[in-house]
Structure 1
Amino acid sequence: MPDSLPHMSEVEQACREAGLATPASELHGGLCGWLAGGGDAGGHWLARVMVDDSLPAPAAGSALARLQAATSAQFEDRDFGLELLVPDEEASLAERSGALFDWCRGFVGAFGLAAGSEPRLSDEGTEALADLARLARATAQDDGDEEDEAALAEIEEFVRVAALLLHGDCALAARHRNRLN
């Protein structure tokens, strides 16, 4: 298993310190979207994802640098070990679903920045991106029941697999095409 993500509270604190008005889940979704779309995983990812060239590269060893390193490693993991930075089961259903929708908003926006307006996607990738865009427009509901909990777990797994699929369509396929040329 590749490196684990830093704890959500560490990333939230790093976002505040960097002056970002972005929740940690949305920033992680943006990083994932950037990487899945074929964006450069180098030190200036934060400026690219946030579309703010004045943002400095995260300091080595910082929570944001560790977030980038772990996320990059997870995308390259052959066991599909990608984790989403969302609250754990202790948080309310509303908090967790809201964070998942924030993650999707970040993903869709940064994916578009990295992949461009007409990325080369498989039929499954096109469908997955459309589904992520729908989730990005969703809003959290107040607490629900066990069925809602199960549905959220299924949606979270779908989002994780969709991100990996899009990474395969864009980032991995582009690398493969470059090796062939």
Structure 2
Amino acid sequence: MTLPTPEDVDQAARGLGLGATPFELHGGLCGWLAGGGENVTDWPARVLADRAAATPAADSPLEQLRSATSAQLEDRGFGFDLLLPQGDAGLDERAQGLFDWCRAFLGGFGLAAGASPPLSEDGQEALADLARLAQASPELSEGEEDEDALAEIEEFVRVAVLLLHGDCVLGPRHRKSLN
């Protein structure tokens, strides 16, 4: 259930000619899956809304990204992680990666969930907050307070994704099994 490194995802994406960063690919994939999109090997074509996008090979880091992400979203222990720039990257680079991740998440979520997803009140609020983050841009700074704030935002995004996945995937699945 371990995500591949951003470098491995980037190299695999470039090899397939995908015009997205590792963070955008993971955000879009998470949005797609959280919105109820099919967990399929041709996910880049669906997430990027590009029918011509190639399907990753079975041993590709992109396939590892899909399978690990799917497993993490289904993990009852809340073991879901975001694929973001590594901790040794600058604060602004990590913040930009998170905002790019959120923008891509919204795109993938919209493609999968459609215009009227079955969201709880908390889910609606979480989606609105993710949309605000997607519009943000980093402010140049490197203080300890900023590091803490970024960590809090990352945790919020992680929990928001799990909430939306619960509303759109786990809730309907549970209701279906009760009938």
Scaled by the length of structure 1, the TM-score of the pair is 0.96
In structure 1, what is the equivalent of residue 168 of structure 2?
170
Distance in 2, matches of 1:108 and 1:55, equals: 20
One-letter code aligned to 1:54: A
On the 8 A contact 1:92/1:143 being kept in 2, the answer is no
Shift of 1:88: 2.1
In structure 1, what is the equivalent of residue 39 of structure 2?
41
Give the alignment's Cα RMSD to 1 decimal.
1.0
Distance in 1, matches of 2:175 and 2:142, equals: 46
Which residue, out of 113, 132, 138, partners 1:134? Answer: 132
Distance in 2, matches of 1:135 and 1:129, equals: 10
One-letter code aligned to 2:104: G
On the 8 A contact 2:18/2:53 being kept in 1, the answer is no
Distance in 2, matches of 1:60 and 1:47, equals: 16
| Structure 2 residues not aligned, in runs of 5+ | none
Which residue, out of 94, 109, 112, partners 1:114? Answer: 112
Distance in 1, matches of 2:74 and 2:57, equals: 23
Shift of 1:177: 2.9
In structure 2, what is the equivalent of residue 78 of structure 1?
76
In structure 2, what is the equivalent of residue 143 of structure 1?
141
Deviations 1:32-78 (A, max 9, x none): 00000000001121111000111122110101000000000000111
Shift of 1:140: 1.9
One-letter code aligned to 2:91: L
Which residue, out of 98, 101, 112, partners 1:100? Answer: 98
Answer with 149-158 or 20-29: which moved more. 20-29
Distance in 1, matches of 2:44 and 2:20, equals: 12
One-letter code aligned to 2:81: E
Identity of matched residues, %:
60
Shift of 1:86: 0.4
The total of aligned residue pairs comes to: 179
Scaled by the length of structure 2, the TM-score of the pair is 0.97
One-letter code aligned to 1:46: P
One-letter code aligned to 1:80: F
Q: Residue 22 of structure 1 aligns to a residue in which SS?
A: coil
One-letter code aligned to 2:102: C
Shift of 1:144: 2.5
Shift of 1:105: 0.6
Q: Residue 102 of structure 2 aligns to a residue in which SS?
A: helix
In structure 2, what is the equivalent of residue 56 of structure 1?
54
Deviations 1:124-147 (A, max 9, x none): 000000000110111122232110
